[in-house]
Structure 1
């Protein structure tokens, strides 16, 4: 799990929200080929993600592939054949592993607010998080206004798709998703610390 604040955030994730159904297609292709480069070639040559332009296909494929490449073989296998809810969970796990900015927002902001019995996500919560992270991540201060807005928009969409954020004002209502035994197994076998991204409190996260 990434913990070193000296490493720059990956903020180029806006080519895709979770897109669990498309992630499943990439996962299936990888399990068939066993090679990420070959997976890329097959996805793009067949337009498996059904993009309208070659450039958007390249961006979408790259983002999904880079996320899925952080998963274990068992996690990819589950993504390829699981129920809708489990696919969403594994797609969010892949996002957490690849996008530390997203993982830390979930594990620090959303989880702490739930623990404080304050499930309403406000604009001020997000802005305070970004402002705090600027101290160790100057790349956040270098973003244009449009990039800042896009990052927030895509992150909130991911949280909604993962079941961590329900509709509500101002930004949504925080909720802890229910994880199936299959999802719990592939996460805890890998590293149970990732459960923090699913708003599981430390007291319920098994030690390694």
Structure 2
């Protein structure tokens, strides 16, 4: 237990400073693209102009730092889609940044939400979340080191991000239910950007990665084994016999034509 706890990467728990915030993330991404892909200049511009419309300077700094650290995990095309895409595409890219930065969010989605859909039991319950956190605490002592109030902030922030990302619908009920797990609607461009980055990230959207090995096996061996034996013997066996057969009969009609010409000549002289 000690070895697993020390080998596991520490969870990033600073995400409570900012929720999903797709609109604010899009603002930062847009400034980044205009700043010639310079994060230092982006940070200075965001803070100087109060681009995030924070109520205080300290709040603005916390928002900027948390969101920027997430967006730095995205690729160039992903940042462009975040800045210029539709509302759903902004949500998807903001959630993708969370998955790549906040490992506990990725674990929750893969281990709990995917399991709920696979077992045909889409209702998320408090008992599901309690069991998940209990398992996490075994390998991540940083969770148990938090104060009770901070632990509650972490759990509330995660649930709210799931709702904002479209993975959880409905409100918490009296019977211990937290909502219904669902797959968010993704545009083809979002799916392509996620899959080309890392197919394993599709699990964060409750999708299964495509099976690549099956396609490669079909296209590798059969064409090579079928083309070589068929083409070469067919050309060699058919060309030579036809050439010999055509050349021998062609010489005989010429030899037969000469006697016919000689017999016809005396007959014409006699008549004359």
> Is the pair's TM-score, using the shorter chain for normalization, greater than 0.5?
yes
Q: What CA distance in whole angstroms lies between the structure 1 residues aligned with 2:210 and 2:13?
A: 28
Question: What is the TM-score with the length of structure 2 in the denominator?
Answer: 0.72
* Alignment deviations for residues 72-102 of structure 1 (CA, whole Å, 9 cap, x no partner): 0010011010000010011000000000000
Aligned to 2:57: 54
1:205 corresponds to 2:207: no
| Equivalent in the alignment of 1:150 | 153
Aligned equivalent of 2:128, options 117, 121, 125: 125
Q: Equivalent residue for 2:23? A: 21
Which structure features the higher share of helix residues? 2
The secondary structure found in structure 1 opposite 2:132 is helix
Unaligned runs of 5+ in 1: none
Kept in 2, the 8 Å contact 1:166–1:172? The answer is yes
Residue in 1 that maps onto 2:201: 194
The 5-angstrom pairing of residues 68-79 of structure 1 reads: 68-79=71-82
1:27-46 equivalences under 5 Å are 27-33=29-35, 34-46=37-49
In structure 2, what is the Cα distance between the partners aligned to 1:207 and 1:130?
33
List gaps (5 residues or longer) in structure 2. 1-5, 214-272
**What is the number of equivalent residue pairs in this alignment?**
203
SS at match of 1:48: coil
Question: Residues 206 and 165 from structure 1, CA distance in 2 versus in 1: closer, same or farther, beyond 3 angstroms?
Answer: same
Of residues 165-174 and 187-196 in structure 1, the stretch that sits farther from structure 2 once superposed is 165-174
- Compared with structure 1, are the counterparts of its residues 92 and 206 closer, same or farther at alpha carbon in structure 2 (3 Å cutoff)? farther
Query: How far did 1:207 drift?
Result: 4.2
If asked which structure has higher relative contact order (CA below 8 Å, sep 6+), I would say 1
Task: From the CA coordinates, give the structure whose radius of gyration is larger.
Answer: 2
> Could you tell me which residue of structure 1 aligns to residue 256 of structure 2?
none
Q: 2:138 is paired with a residue of what secondary structure? A: coil
| Residues 72-111 of structure 1: pairs in structure 2 closer than 5 A | 72-111=75-114
Displacement over 4 Å in runs of 4+: none
